[in-house]
Structure formats: C-alpha cells, structure tokens
Chain A
Amino acid sequence: MSGYRLSQGGVIDRARTVNFKFDGKSYAGFAGDTLASALLASGVKLFGRSFKYHRPRGVFASGSEEPNALVELRTGAYREPNTRATMAEIFEGLEAASQNRGVSLKYDPLAVNNWLSPFLVAGFYYKTFMWPSGFWEKIYEPMIRRAAGLGRNAGMPDPDCYEKTTEFCDVLVIGGGADGAAAAIAAAEAGQRVILCDENAPLYALQLPESVRLFSRTTVLGVYDGGTYAALERLTDHLPSSSAPRQRLVRIIAKRSVLATGALERPIAFGHNDLPGVMLSRAVGDYVTRYGVAPGRNVLLYLNNDDAASLIPTLHGAGVKLAGVVDARPRSSDALYDAARAAGAPVYAGAAIIRAVGAMGVKGARIRLAAGGELSLPCDIIAVSGGFNPNLALTSHFDGKPVWDERIAAFVPGILPPGMEVVGKAAGQGINANILPVFHSGYVPGKSFLDLQNDVTVKDMKLAEREGFASVEHMKRYTTLGMATDQGKTANVNAIGVLAEALGRGVGETGTTRFRPPYVPVAIGALAGAHTGRYFRPMRLTPTHGWAKELGAVFVETGPWLRAQYFPQPGEDWLSAAQREVNTVRLAVGICDVTTLGKIDIQGPDAAVFLERVYTNSWKTLAIGKVRYGLMLREDGMVMDDGTTARLGETHFVMTTTTANAGRVMQHLEFCAQILWPELDVAMISVTDQWGQIAVAGPKSTATLAKLVDAPFDLSDEAFPYMACGALTVYGGVPARLFRISFSGERAYELAVPARFAHALAEKLMEAGAEYGIAPYGTEALGIMRIEKGHAAGPELNGQTTAHDLGLHKLLSKKKDFIGRAMAARPALMDTQRQTMVGLKPVNERDVIRAGSHLLPVGAQAKAENDLGHVTSAARSPTLGSIALALLAGGPARMGETVRVYDPIRGGDFEAVVTSPVHYDPEGKRLHA
C-alpha cells in the first residue's frame, strides 16, 4: 500500500517529465514537484532514519516544517546535508541520498538503538559514561559523536557563490497567501513602496500590481533593530547547475511590516505516531491539490477541529479511499458527518487513536472508542490534525512572548516588534473552529512522539517533570525537544501541553521557549556573500606596489595593507635578502615605501595647542621647517602611539603615526577635537593616501636626492640638518615634501610626492642611486635596522607599556597637562620594578634570540614566579649577529647582567647579556655620516 500519482489535478506541469535519483535508484516526476511529492507519487514510503533510535521515517508535512524527510542533496562538493525533501524542487539529473543510516535505509544496523531506547531516554548521558574515567574521551564520546548529527558536510570548499543586497520599502509583507497578497495590494494602492516575500516557488500566479516587488522563493529569517529584516532568496537551488549566485541574502529595511505567514498544523501524539504514513492532515491535502499525488490508498483521518475536515471532500473528489474519521470531540459537526457519509467513511466521535500499527509503514490503527473498547482499522495513511498554530516565530524575535488563546487553543502573537502587524491565520483568525484541545492520546504503551526529529516522546515530558526540569526552558534543554533543524515547529505546542498537564498548570502559564532567528536554517555561505577567500576583506595597495612587483618583491600583509617584505635576488632567502638590504643601506643607500604610515594634516590657529594636549612633549616651541618625535598616550596613561610631526607653517603640521595605529589615532584626534575641546580652532584630515612617501636612507642618500631636487632648494647639512622639513619641487616641478628623519639610524630622508608620481619617483631614485649601488629594501630590513637602533615599534607599543617602560619618560613634560598624564601616575605604573625596555645579546654567538622568549634569572627554576619579562623584538643583524629588545623587570639597573632566555615552546634555553637597546651607533653619529 503506497502513494501514487493521481490522473489529474495539481499545479505541476505534467507535460515536463523530470528524471532524478534517490539512494541510487532512478525515478521520474514532473516540473513543479518537490522531491517529497515525486517520491510519494512513485510509491516511496521510507525517507530516513531518526536521529537517536534510528526508526524508519517517512514524509510528515509538505512545507519547511518537515521534521523527518531530510536528505543529502546533490553530490561531491555540492552535497548539502539535512535538506528537506518537501522544499527541494526537483530538476533534471537531481541526486539525493537518505541520511543517518548504515548501509541502507531499509537495513540500518543502528536500529538496535531502538531496542536500547529504554536506556537512551532524555538526559541519560548526564547520568553515565563517567566510568572508567579515561573512557569518556577515548571511547564514549567518539561513539556518541559518530552517532550524532544527521547529514554529512561535504568536507570540500563550497563551489557555489552567494551574494548579498539591501532593499528599502515602506511595507514589507511576509507571506504570499491570500492575506498577504491583499495587504500588499492595499498598501500599493495607497502609494506605498511594497515588498512581498513568499517562501514558495511561484506556482500560483499572484495578481499583484506592478509596483509591488515580489520576491519568490524568499524566506524572511529574522527581525532586527531599526526595521531591519533578513531574508534569504533561493536563486538556483531548483536548477541543475548555474554559474549565477546560488542564494542571495536580502536585507530589507522597512518602515513597517505585515506578517501574513498563516498557521502551521500540529498533530496529536499517539503510540508509534512516527511510522511512515502518519502525516499532517493539511499536508495530505496539499499533496493531492498541489502536486496531484495521493500519499496512500486508504486514509484514516484523526482530528479535534473542524478545519481539518476539509480533507474529506478533497480525498473523495480525488477518488482516494477514506478509511474513517476519528474525532476526539464527543460530537462532530453536521458538515463533517455529511462529508464523511458522502465519502462512505465511518465517523468515530469521542474516540482516539491509541497507536499506529505496522513495522516499516502504517498498516492500520488501533482506536479507543468513546464507549470504551477498542477497534483495529486497516489503513496506510493516518492524517492527523491537533489544530493549527499561528506561525508567529517572527513576532517573538524581540522576546515578545506569545499568549495562549483558550478560545482557539493556540498561541497567538503577544507584544510585537515595532512596526509589525499580524493578519489572518497568523493572528489566530479563522482557525481551529470548534477545537477540543487534545495534545496526545494519553500515556499509551509504546512511544508517542512529540519531537520527531530529536526522538523526544510524551514519556520524556514526564521524566523531565519527575527530575525537576519543570520550566519549559529546562524541559527543552533536558530533553532536547525543539532543538533540531525544524526547531520544534510541529512539536513545541504539544510538548507544552503535555508538560502543563504533567505539572497541573495551564498551557498559557507554562508558556513557550524563546524564538530566535533564523526562522529556517540558512547556509553560512549566504551570510558571507562575496567576502570569502581572497576577498574576505579589502586589500590596500601602496602607490609603488606595481614597481615593487616588477622588481620581484615578496609581499606581506600589514593590517589591511600589502607591503614589500624583501626583494630577493636569485638564490636568496628572506634572511639573506634582508641582510643584504641592511648592508646596502648602512654602506650606500636604499629606498623603501613608507606610505602606509598614517599621515594626518593638522591645521588651525589652535593646532599647536592641540598638539600640546595630545602629545606628552612640547610643541609650541617647534620651529617652522622642523620635525620632532612625538609620544602619544591613551587616556589611561598607556602608550598609544608614537611618530614624528613636522611643522610646515605657523598653523600647519603634519603628524605621522605607525601603520597599525593610523585609524585609531585619527579616531582619537577627532574625539578630542569634537568632544573634549570643541572650542579649539583646529581641523584635521588624513593624507595617508594623498602622498606617496619613500624613505631614502644611507650615507649616499643626500647625493642621490641631490640629483632629483629642483634648484634653488638647498640640500646641504647646514641648510637642511637632521630633523628639518620643507616643501619643494623635484624632477622638474613635481610638488614634494622632504623630511630629514631616520628610522634606520643612517643619514636619511623621507620624500613625499602626490601619490600618482610615487611609482615614477621610485624608478628615478633607483636610476639616481645606481652609481652608488642603490637597492630597494622592505619591511624585514626595516625591522632589523630599527631593532639595531632600539626604536620601539608594534611589539613594544602593545598597549600594556608606559612611557617609563619604554625609556621615554623624559618626554613626559612636567610643564603642561596632556592626555594620559594623570592616569600614568597611578602607583603601580610608577613601580621601578616594572618590566622596562632593554637590549639583549646572546652570550654565545651561535645562539639566536627569538621574540616571545621569556627571561629568567640565571640558575632559577623555570617557574612563573621567577619570570622577569619577555623578548619583544629580535633580529639577525648582518653586522651584530643576534640582537633583541626586551622588557625586563627593573631593566635599566641590570645593564651588563646575564639573564636566561627561556623559550621552551620552540626549544630555546641559553644566556644573554643585558645591554642598552641601542645596539648600533649609540651616539647617533651615522645620522650625519
């Protein structure tokens, strides 16, 4: 006894046959069929095995609330687990497979779980698996994990692409049924911008005015703040293949919304109500009217309300035999009796189905009659209706709790999210006529399922109550009811009803658990859209990027930027390249793009005052044409950033920041200007991208630059000494700025030109310096040199260090207030035993110090209480060998001492001498060399 295709009826396209496979077997259906309807039409009853007990399962519903018929759709990297067969539109060549079974669906070895089910009740795993103590992780847990889950992820990168978009409207109508269409039309006629989202494929043509924007195959997933709704549009899931995006996340911002999502049917629980063939009554009707499929040949209808009686004439009209009507109410309505008589079906009022009979599918039902006594009725489909639940999940995303309406024995929306109204069945109108609230047929022998997907039964409610998990949230967590992929859509209300009964409380008082987005599960790929792989986040390129690429640079990510790390010549690795670049700079001249360091243009009559307040040191006295190093603290007194600021005019400064902190400093300065001191006449703007900036460093830097600088600019040391700056032109009129500053410690400059000229400038500098053996250098060489010179950078400016820690306390002016001054004076921050910056050199030349090593006293035990600090930066200098900067407790007092450099995680353990952080040219003579 199984399903078959009706000779007429349905809105499928009988002219278009579609061939597909399920579990390796070929079938045919029609365009417009779902996988479920096509398989039912082909007589398939068995669709899957349940999660815990591995019981045979068939199709239960016809929409997205389907709990049982979950399949793996498509193959290979396209395989998608846990797909509802009721929502999968078939296409030519579709391949699907059942899940969570052993070798085959029919013969599933784990069905033994069913026999073990008395032991596998809710919460059993909390009470056991504890002995022997090692077994949980090695044996029990892996077993549980292998049995858990339903479908398999393909384990390969998702080959599809997804996209995201944003739409605005005045009214968002959710649900394209009669109520939704009516609301959309009314709003459009009132001149509003309307969007209508409907979950289903456009099988029925909706008569909508053109101004209503219809999104079919689109499910609204969640309600968020600011009138924001998340929706998922399925673009190509119903096609064999496509290069177009598979799905689209649509963010809809609506002034108001109309929820017209209708109502979802709930069953009545009875013994073995999970057998293939037990279905929601409206689903049975759907298969007949929408898909032209009779799910079986002999249908028994079990109901407690008048709405479900509409199935009687539907089946009769389609020529499907009705075995009978079991009405839980003491008396059915006249209309029901008439329809049943016309269909030749007996009506058993005041009765209940105690259990379904059958092994792999329904063969009959055992009924308890009103007068007492029982009856067995043969049938192959039990269409069950316990009433309808307004589909109100979206009303509750802001935690507005649904309210139990006694009159219709259903939860209706409570407090709604701002701007939302609910219409039609979703509001509880026109449903559950003459309903008698019945949630289960009683505590009958055998399993009465409430949550089909997680295998939670009526008896589990009693168990939860017995163990004190009486609140509905506790019950949910203890039994896992409602936590499966269907989120309990056909289970929750019945479970609440059973629990309420067990507790002797009202259903309304017991209440629901919290509803949360997404309304239906949504592919993670759709939420990511195009921001995957290399496009996860945007990349920032320097203006000399192309030039560096031509020279074979290897690049490194520095925050969002891509910077040249080193320029290897044939046969070189990163270290030999970097060391050669360092030597070239120290002996001749090198160039390096330093555009990425933040550049902030600060102007105004109060610009100097502003700088006085944000920097720790003095600025009013800085002469025009001079540059000064600046130290900036956070409000809490820790070092935020450092940089150099140049005075280009009386009221004009250009501040530089580290690359990493450019954004943070800009934000901080804006906060100070707008919020803290709005009275100051000062303005600032980023010029990081406006100017391409190139460092020219080395003893031959002046000579190299001299070839580019236009007369009459005087590049001599007298006219342009260390820490000078100025505006000029280069190479025949290109506007430029020159700063004589040095990160490397050599005679050096930074030359800035408008970004469009930076590439050409780099080429010209290379030409100009060719006779001196000029070479480009990257961030590795930059790093080696700044460590040689003991300049603090990112690893030292880690947000946990003070000016004192970095040996920069002399820059803390005593004559003025500045941001961070007060908090920096907190007692613990003034402790002389704090870890302060020093240099390190290994005792043995062959040892290589690594950043991240910790420091211990020599001979002390390697324990935390002996920890003296850590190595912050380390380099392998071509001239000095292994050198490092470190933060060491009581650092400056320990010059010349030996410490243990302890790096167990990489296997290092040797001694080093504490030195000044300035390893190279401590007197700074090279600046003028």
Chain B
Amino acid sequence: MADTSTPNATSGSWALEARGLGKRYRRGWALRDCSFRIPAGRICGLVGPNGAGKSTLLGLATRQVQPTTGELRVFGVPVDDPAVMPTFAFLGQEKPLFKRFTVAETLRMGAELNPGWDAVAAERIVRSGNVPPHARVGTLSGGQRTRVAFALAFGKRPDLLLLDEPMSDLDPLARDEMSTLLMAEAVERGTTVVMSSHMLTELEDMCDYLLVVAEGRIRMAGDADALVPAHALVTGVTRDGALPPELDLHTVVETRLQGRQFQAMIRPKGPLPTDWETAEPSLEEVLLAHLRSPDAPSLYTQGARVEAEGTQAA
C-alpha cells in the first residue's frame, strides 16, 4: 500500500486534487484555501466536526456546489467539465430516491442516465439483500433503501465513490452489512472511496487515507499509516505548574495539565527528553486532538500536499 501514497506526477493518478479551493456562502467561508490530493484506489475518510465543511467539500466534488475560489480536479479533469460526471458516484446523507418508483424502475433510471451502466452488478447487490424488485422504494426498510442506493451508485461503475455519512441512519446489523458490501465492491473494482463520517472506529477499520477538516480548513491529509506514527502522546512533570520549554521544540497539537503532570499530543521534531513517558496514540486519539484544537498546525504526508498558492506551512 505504501507505494500508492505518492503516485507519479501525472495527475490522472490522483482521484481528487484541490488547489486553493474555497466556497463562500452568505454567512461566510464554509471552506477556505483547501489544497490537497487523494491518490487513486484508496479508501479515504473525511473527518471533521459538524459544520466543518465536509458536506461542502463533497458538494464541490459532485458539482452540486460551485467553488468561489480555486479549482478541483477529478482524475485530472476539472470538476466543471461535464466529462467528470460518469466517473464519480455520490451517496448523500439522506440517500434520496424516488419513493414511488419500484426497485426495478430505480435501477432502470440508473441504466437510462448512465452510459456505462453495469446492470449485473446493480442487480446482484439488490438481489443479495433480498430486496423485492417490484416493491416500491417508499415501502422498503432503511437498510433495504440504502442497499438500493448503493446498487445505484455501484451500477454506475464509478472510479470515485463519494459518500456523505453513509451509515449514519442504519442499525448495527445493516451498518455491518453495508460496510462489508462497500469494501468488497470497492476492492474488487479498485474504486477510490471518499467517505465522511462521525464514527471514528468505522474510519479506523475502513480507511487507509485521511482528510481532516475543521473550521473550513484542512487540518491533516495523508496516509493513515503515516499520520498516526508522526504523533506521540507524551506525559511528563510540569515546571512550576507550567509546560516545560522543551515542548516548544516540537509541534504541539494539544496539551493538558493535570496537577503536577502534563500530557501533550505532539509531532516530535527530534529526540524527546528521557524523563518523558512516550506512547504511540491511536488514530482516534490523534483525530480527537486535532478536532479539539483547530488552531494546531496542519499536517500533510508526502504527496498529499499540493505545491500551490494558498497552502499553509506544516
């Protein structure tokens, strides 16, 4: 997997590539100065608190929202070019479907509107969930409806699948079933998946690439395998009730004082004092630390950063 993190300079190997991307609504910037790259073939988690700009980012990638600044490319093609439409599929939070259509009609819609429709795959997904093809979508259970929405998305044979909190309204059983389905289909076809989620454990299980967004800016981007080891969770003794000055030699994400002790999430830039207790944090701990401190310096692993205008130093 490690070699996929830095594809060659040809932009076709990047599923998504943003340069100085920004979107401003009447209330202010929802997303600002975003420059990042997501390599093709990865399962990328899009993490951030509510209102961080995740949905805006997915909206920009699916042409639902037009950027105020910057540009976004999907497999090297500018997103405002209609040629990108067949290359991606999108599954929104609400998973909207025509409620009066039958399942078969919903799949027919997929066939009518998409040039590269894969009827066999779509039908297999529906069939394996025992969804009756002549039932109206409005009469299906939440899990069944999600399955139909997945069938519609995979039937399109997308190279990039964008998911906005796909599992949020599913019961644990259906969630497990859909995750398995998603991973199986994505791996089989080499589909790049970008999914936003609140479920940190879900991300830990499924994603090998991460994009962390907070307050409309990118906080972290890169390989999950590289992002976590870049951090250390250190515990030490405070000096006169304050943080020790040695801490300033490293990039500090978050600190916490507890009596005579301090605990800090840092990105070490050199050897750490021996009297500090060092632990490798879990992905969840790293993510939470970053989400709690949106002012911490952002981190990009190699390749994830776009050398362009509007990027801030790590």
Same assembly: no
